[in-house]
């Protein structure tokens, strides 16, 4: 990867977003778990809505399947003896994030970073963000807008109504974007700028299954659109004007690439 970057060659393999963040020294956020395991992400996210966490009998451990053998790993020292309750839930979520995005892959990640920066002087990359490094390594995707529109599903308020004015505004706006903005929109919604060789009909989720790009209309979503990268879905507010959509969609894409959350 480092040699290809220095030689200006394009590599065909796309990494998941947290790995680009590790390469660039960007902070990994809780939402990055969705790129790794969307079921674990949803399960942990739901904990914050429970009135009494203690009834779940959780502790500061995780169970891993090691070649068919269940192995318990402590998230903290003597984690099996520490019960998760509402007071220490933030610490529990933090240790889960650290374990699943760093600790469990630390030896392999260390060697990846050492190898990469043996070839690429780290200061040269300081001007790029984690999304731009993907575009540098893999080039701008060849985005066929007609193919993108043809292979998009519509759900929620947009179900069976691809002629909805908000949907029409969305596609008019995307078509007006420069190629790099289109790529960053694709990154925002799917977690990667990559488009399958066969086109958008073969777009995959992080589980490897085909998951078509989906526009979901949601009246409960206010101001900013929300992305669900595991489903390749973007939840769109029901905007009152195209100008309003342009403002907030463009801001959402920009804030994602700078590392600032909007939820």
Instruction: Say which residues have a Cβ less than 8 Å from residue 126's Cβ, sequence separation at least 6.
Output: none
Is 57 in the active site?
no
Q: Distance (Å, rounded) from C-alpha 237 to C-alpha 226?
A: 9
Q: Distance (Å, rounded) from C-alpha 90 to C-alpha 92?
A: 5
Instruction: Say which residues have a Cβ less than 8 Å from residue 139's Cβ, sequence separation at least 6.
Output: 10
Catalytic residue (choose from 230, 234, 236, 253): 230
Strand pairing report for 152-156 and 213-217: parallel
Beta strands in 82-197 (DSSP E): 152-156
Beta strands in 171-219 (DSSP E): 213-217
* Catalytic residue annotation: 230
């Amino acid at each position: 990867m480092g040699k290809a970057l220095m030689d200006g060659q394009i590599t065909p393999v796309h990494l998941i977003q947290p790995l680009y963040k590790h390469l660039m020294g960007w902070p990994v956020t809780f939402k990055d778990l969705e790129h790794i395991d969307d079921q674990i992400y949803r399960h942990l996210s739901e904990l914050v809505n429970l009135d009494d966490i203690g009834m779940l009998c959780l502790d500061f451990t995780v169970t891993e399947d090691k070649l068919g053998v269940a192995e318990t790993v402590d998230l903290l020292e003597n984690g099996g003896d520490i019960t998760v309750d509402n007071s220490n839930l933030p610490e529990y979520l933090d240790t889960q994030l650290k374990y699943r995005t760093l600790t469990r892959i630390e030896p392999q990640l260390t060697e990846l970073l050492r190898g990469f920066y043996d070839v690429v002087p780290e200061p040269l990359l300081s001007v790029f963000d984690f999304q731009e490094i993907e575009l540098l390594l893999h080039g701008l995707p060849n985005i066929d807008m007609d193919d993108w529109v043809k292979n998009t599903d519509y759900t929620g308020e947009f179900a069976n109504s691809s002629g909805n004015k908000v949907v029409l505004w969305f596609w008019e706006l995307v078509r007006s974007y420069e190629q790099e903005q289109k790529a960053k929109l694709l990154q925002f919604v799917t977690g990667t700028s990559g488009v399958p060789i066969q086109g958008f009909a073969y777009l995959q989720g992080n589980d490897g299954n085909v998951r078509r790009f989906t526009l979901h209309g949601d009246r409960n979503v206010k101001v900013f659109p929300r992305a669900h990268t595991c489903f390749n879905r973007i939840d769109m507010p029901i905007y009152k004007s195209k100008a309003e959509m342009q403002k907030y969609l463009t801001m959402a894409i920009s804030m994602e690439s700078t590392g600032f959350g909007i939820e």
